[in-house]
Amino acid sequence: MGDTAKIGIGGKTVELPVLKGTTGPDVVDIRKLYAETDTFTYDPGFTSTASCESKITFIDGDAGILLHRGYPIDQLAEKSSFLEVCYLLLHGELPTAAEYATFDHNITYHTMLHEQFDRFFMGFRRDAHPMAIMVSAVGALSAFYHDSTNIDDPEQRMISAHRMIAKIPTIAARAYKYSLGQPFVHPRNDLSYAENFLKMCFSVPAEDWKPNPVLTRAMDRIFILHADHEQNASTSTVRLAGSSGANPFACIAAGIACLWGPSHGGANEEALNMLKEIGTVDRIPEYVQGVKDRRYRLMGFGHRVYKNYDPRAKVMQTTCHEVLAEVGHSDDPLLKVAMELEKIALNDPYFVERKLYPNVDFYSGITLRALGFPPEMFTVLFALARTVGWIAQWKEMIEDPSQKIGRPRQLYTGAPQRDYVAVEKRG
């Protein structure tokens, strides 16, 4: 018998099992608590609650460690490729050469969109935020690919996973091209995942387009850095949506909607806006004072889980320097502001005491801007990369025999039962 936790409530003592993971904090299994004590636990924002069992990603926020299937993120960013990381997240192991070749084929085979799908984009205003297009277009995939929406069929589940990973760059690039009023560029299956995406975004029929290996590698690495991040808000949204048996395309659309918020995926856009607003190094102290006066937050800083330097931010910082050097923007004034702001914040007691460190979004905005993307596209790129994490987590949930529909309870503090009052008797 392992450890147990005893809780005394209303004169009764219940003994609850304590479960151990491979690593990380133990969890108290409270599943029987309500049945035995008529009591719920209360944890808004899930700060102390493990919502599921998972084998995909592990984060040690105090040590600044992020592992996918056991492999450290910095090793994956340096040595792997995004498609290989996709395979790893979905299947649990790094692929053999033959497995990789098959996977690569399966993804590239699905990169095109149904021809009629293009008409869907035409319904949007040209100034629509591309995340608005992403939410709707990804949800609409379920209207086009009925043959992969039976969630009880493992083969259909895998096909929908491949379709999603393959088609999301095509949709994201179309959302961008549509905003520019430029023709859609079809995917090319002879290019790598990142090359193909950059081509669909930046090539035009009037000119030849050649991939730049430094920028392609940076794009691929940015995708790796965003591929999965355990049970964050959007992933939990995907799991919750999927727990009702909704089809995977609809679930990923729900995840994209959640990601859009400025506290989550929208932070990279906000971080760049913040750097622009600060503008020059001499304005940093005044801006930092505004943060301390709680007028606004330092975007790209702080994290619910990391109370140390976000390991993704380290890789992103290196990538940022590489990209800026390649495009000849090493003297970008915003980079100077970012580096100085980071230095000041890392030494300022306000940030030190609260364990606020740069997160992945701090340097990603400057990097993506140097790659040629406008700020509205930043969260789209995050969504593109996170799709594999969402679908891997969704698949794991569906395949978990203990899976149930997600149904949190509440602490009700509203009016007690009362009788309806006719309108003439109110007030």
Task: Tell me how far CA of residue 226 lies from CA of 88, 198, 219, 312, 383, in angstroms.
Answer: 14, 17, 11, 8, 8
DSSP string, 73-99: HHHHHHH--HHHHHHHHHHSSPPPHHH
Active-site pick, 329, 361, 400, 419: 361
The amino acid occupying position 320 is C
Binding mask 116-145 for ligand CMC (x = CB under 6 A): ------------------------------
> Are 214 and 321 in contact, with CB atoms under 8 Å apart?
no
Q: How far apart are CA 214 and CA 407, in angstroms?
A: 46
Q: How far apart are CA 180 and CA 377, in angstroms?
A: 12
Q: Give catalytic status of residue 361 as yes or no.
A: yes
Counting contacts by CB under 6 A, is residue 226 touching ligand CMC? Answer: no
Q: Shortest Cβ distance from residue 262 to ligand CMC (Å)?
A: 7
Q: Where are the alpha helices (DSSP H) in 293-406?
A: 311-326, 333-347, 349-353, 361-371, 378-398
DSSP 308: S
Nearer of residues 224 and 360 to ligand CMC, judged by Cβ: 360
How many residues sit in the footprint of ligand CMC (CB under 6 A)?
20
Of 3-11, 72-80, 354-362, 413-421: span binding ligand CMC (CB under 6 A)? 354-362
Q: Where are the alpha helices (DSSP H) in 57-184?
A: 73-79, 82-91, 97-109, 117-122, 130-144, 154-180
Q: How far apart are CA 290 and CA 297, in angstroms?
A: 8
SS3 16: strand
Counting contacts by CB under 6 A, is residue 230 touching ligand CMC? Answer: no
Q: Shortest Cβ distance from residue 351 to ligand CMC (Å)?
A: 7
SS3 247: coil
Binding mask 273-312 for ligand CMC (x = CB under 6 A): ------------------x-----xxxxxxxx--------
In the set 142, 231, 232, 393, which binds ligand CMC (CB under 6 A)?
A: 232
Q: Shortest Cβ distance from residue 300 to ligand CMC (Å)?
A: 5
Chain centroid to Cα 58, Å, comes to 15
Of 26-34, 50-58, 263-271, 324-332: span binding ligand CMC (CB under 6 A)? 263-271
Q: How far apart are CA 361 and CA 272, in angstroms?
A: 9
Q: Give catalytic status of residue 118 as yes or no.
A: no
Q: Which residue is nearest to ligand CMC (CB)?
A: 302
- Structure tokens that stand for 419 in this block: 């009788």
- Structure tokens that stand for 317 in this block: 């910082």
Q: Shortest Cβ distance from residue 413 to ligand CMC (Å)?
A: 21
In the set 41, 75, 102, 263, which binds ligand CMC (CB under 6 A)?
A: 263
In the set 108, 179, 359, 367, which binds ligand CMC (CB under 6 A)?
A: 359
> Are 379 and 268 in contact, with CB atoms under 8 Å apart?
yes
Active-site pick, 303, 329, 332, 348: 303
Of 131-139, 258-266, 326-334, 401-409: span binding ligand CMC (CB under 6 A)? 258-266
Q: Shortest Cβ distance from residue 349 to ligand CMC (Å)?
A: 12
Counting contacts by CB under 6 A, is residue 386 touching ligand CMC? Answer: no
Dihedral (Cα; 302, 306, 309, 315), 10-degree rounding: -100
> Are 104 and 87 in contact, with CB atoms under 8 Å apart?
no
Counting contacts by CB under 6 A, is residue 114 touching ligand CMC? Answer: no
Counting contacts by CB under 6 A, is residue 314 touching ligand CMC? Answer: no
Q: How far apart are CA 323 and CA 216, in angstroms?
A: 10
Of 107-115, 126-134, 192-200, 357-365: span binding ligand CMC (CB under 6 A)? 357-365
Counting contacts by CB under 6 A, is residue 235 touching ligand CMC? Answer: no
Q: Shortest Cβ distance from residue 299 to ligand CMC (Å)?
A: 5
Instruction: Please give the positions annotated as active site.
Output: 303, 361
Residues that bind ligand CMC (CB under 6 A): 229, 232, 263-265, 267, 291, 297-304, 354, 356, 359-361
